Amino acid sequence: MAFSEERLVTKLNGLDETQDSIVGASRWLLSQHKEIKQIAACWSKFVTKTTINTRRKLLAIYLANDVVQQAKHKRMAEVGAAFGDIMPGALSRVYPELSLEMRQKVRRVVDIWKQRQVFSDSVLKSVYSQLKDEPRPDSPAVAPEMQNLVVLFNQLTKSQAGVNSSKTRFDSSVEALDPSSAVYTENYKIIQKIGQAAKDALQISLDIRQKAIKELKVMLDFQNEQLQQDQNMISEVDAVLVAKDPLNSQPLSAEEAEMVPVYEASDGSDSDTDKSDVEGNDTRRRKSSTLSTEHKDDVKRLKSIAVEPKSDTGERADTFDAATYEPTPAEVAANSPMAVTSSIQDLLSKLAS
């Protein structure tokens, strides 16, 4: 079977920590040794992708380790040379991403290469120079809205190992199934079990993906609402700026000016009715003041008449100061409203006669 990059990627994604998985993929790669340079380049491309998780990258290094050791044992020098060309560059990018535990595992693998002289001294020296235990860059804090998604994607990553392994096993079993075999029925039953295991692993992955899609839809709806609010606020800011822009303040046209209502100058009163009421009140106060003054003058005249006693000879007595005069009780009674009225009548009678 001719080599294809898709086939290699499938093999790499289907790896797990078991010896059978690593050895099976290694045998397939060695069977394609005529394309070993292309295989090594595709392997380097896979492990340096940022979308590939570190666990899968470590498994790919395990696979490369088995391939180069088996190639040395079988005297396939071209395999070691091809991987020796790309290994320092690949590890320079992969090693800083690994956790401390994974770094220790990679270092043990490199130590084995040195002990068994899998690569040349120059290659090993270059490889060791990439194994620098510098602190890993701090991972950015995960927003609260993303935490559920992070958990789901971590579960999905772990489930993929079982999915790929079981699917690869199923494909290999189907390829090995021989319809002409005497034990075809028994082999088919075994393949059914392997297929069911693959379906179970795929169902787990399917459930996790559905949950992830649901979370993503919730996030999408929320972000659409926030987007609309932001757009509305931008429109409000633009409207205010346009309204306050002095360049937009233009005088009214003649037609617009005619439509503006014109009001007469006001005297400060609320209405015409109020003005009439005020004028009426002023007139009544003036009349009342006039009547009051006239009444007071009449009372003074009556008082002066009432308090001018005549002498026995018929002549008037001496005058007195009306301002300091204190009336007697009899005079007060005499000057009551009824007495004043009677005195006025008497006075009028005398004048008439």
Residues with Cβ within 8 Å of 305's Cβ and at least 6 positions away in sequence, in order, are 343, 347
Mean pLDDT score across all residues of the chain: 78
Distance CA 105, CA 124 (A): 16
Higher pLDDT: 119 or 254? It is 119
User: Dihedral, CA atoms, 158, 162, 165, 169, nearest 10 degrees?
Assistant: -170
The percentage of residues in the chain with a pLDDT greater than 70, rounded to a whole number, is 67
Amino acid identity, residue 66?
D
pTM, to two decimals:
0.46
How high is the pLDDT of residue 251?
Answer: 61
Choose from 125-134, 221-230, 269-278 the range with maximum mean pLDDT.
221-230
Give the pLDDT band of residue 165 (cuts 50, 70, 90).
confident
Higher pLDDT: 114 or 332? It is 114
Encoded tokens for 71: 């190639």
Give the pLDDT band of residue 310 (cuts 50, 70, 90).
very low
Q: Within 97-138, where are the H helices?
A: 100-115, 121-129
Find residue 310's DSSP bridge partners: 316
Helix/strand/coil (H, E, C) string of 84-108?
Answer: HHHHHHHHHHHHHHCCHHHHHHHHH
Angle at 44 between CA 41 and CA 49, to 5 degrees: 130
Q: Is the pLDDT of residue 263 over 90?
A: no
Q: Is the pLDDT of residue 351 over 90?
A: no
| Residue range 59-108, pLDDT digits in tens | 999 999 999 999 999 999 999 999 999 999 999 999 999 989 999 999 99
